[in-house]
Amino acid sequence: MARHDFAAPRLYVSQPLGQDREIELTRDQANYLVNVLRLADGATILAFDGHSGEWRARILGRGRKIVLRAEHQTRPQEGGPDLDYLFAPLKHARLDYMVGKATEMGAARLRPVLTRRTQVARVNLDRMRANVIEAAEQCGILAVPVVEPPEPIERALRAWPPDRLLVFCDEEAPVHDPVAALGGWRDRLGERPSLALLVGPEGGFEAEERAAILALPRVARLSLGPRVLRADTAAVAGLAILGAVLSDRHPP
């Protein structure tokens, strides 16, 4: 694993970084660096934009503005797994938690899906994006996941690409060795498999939903053990097993 400098503050910036390129900080970013972290003019941090790796960047006052000047690249951009994370949205703090963990654990796309028993009708995408960025800044993530708008699960299943394996965390799956459940797919998927993980809502899946999910051309029904886990717990457990067995076997 690449050596990370976790001592230096890391900041996500939306403008593209490049050698000696100066980007103007937003008021919130400037406030965070200058007033919260109390970094002086000339201090350096690590900056990333999600596409051009990580850069050692210098804080420079430019009149009333604060800019960051990218001085040298500390890490090249690395792509994470081709992993969609589908989940029934939960309420506030649990959703914040689940979004952060999915980011840390390599999701490339966060896809809220609305199932029959989903209790949350609206999803605050800006809040989700802010949680994604916070997790990426804290954990050295370079490929920042995309947050998709919610969609009915029926639509997601209808449009399902045939080559993408869906790992279905099913609370009603017979208890079976999860590594064996996924291991059988290992040799059929190649070096950089197209993957997805699905975790349901607090009330679990309905029978018709379960049947439609299991009818997909590439689906692996995953039991996370004999106990029913809370959805945010299941998310972490499912992503950990999927990563260990399928997506993180060949780190970049």
Residues that bind ligand SAH (CB under 6 A): 169-171, 173, 199-200, 202, 204-205, 222-225, 227-231, 234
Min CB(104)–ligand SAH separation in Å: 19
Half-sphere exposure in the Cβ direction for 224 (13 Å, CA): 25
Give the nearer residue to ligand SAH in terms of CB position, either 136 or 198.
198
- Judge contact between 112 and 148, C-beta under 8 A: yes
Q: Identify the CA nearest to 161 among candidates 218, 80, 212, 106.
A: 218
CA–CA separation, 56 and 25 (whole Å): 15
Min CB(231)–ligand SAH separation in Å: 4
Token readout for 171 is 């609370």
Min CB(106)–ligand SAH separation in Å: 18
Min CB(87)–ligand SAH separation in Å: 8
Min CB(232)–ligand SAH separation in Å: 7
At a CB cut-off of 8 Å and minimum separation 6, what does 42 contact?
A: 58, 59, 60
CA–CA separation, 36 and 218 (whole Å): 48
Residue type at 28 in one-letter notation? D
Give the nearer residue to ligand SAH in terms of CB position, either 63 or 174.
174
Give the nearer residue to ligand SAH in terms of CB position, either 49 or 84.
84
Give the nearer residue to ligand SAH in terms of CB position, either 113 or 142.
113
At a CB cut-off of 8 Å and minimum separation 6, what does 31 contact?
A: none
Give the nearer residue to ligand SAH in terms of CB position, either 46 or 120.
120
> Which DSSP string do the residues of 12-36 spell out, in sequence order?
E-SSPP-TT-EEEPPHHHHIIIIII
- Ranked by CB distance to ligand SAH, the top (closest) residue is 200
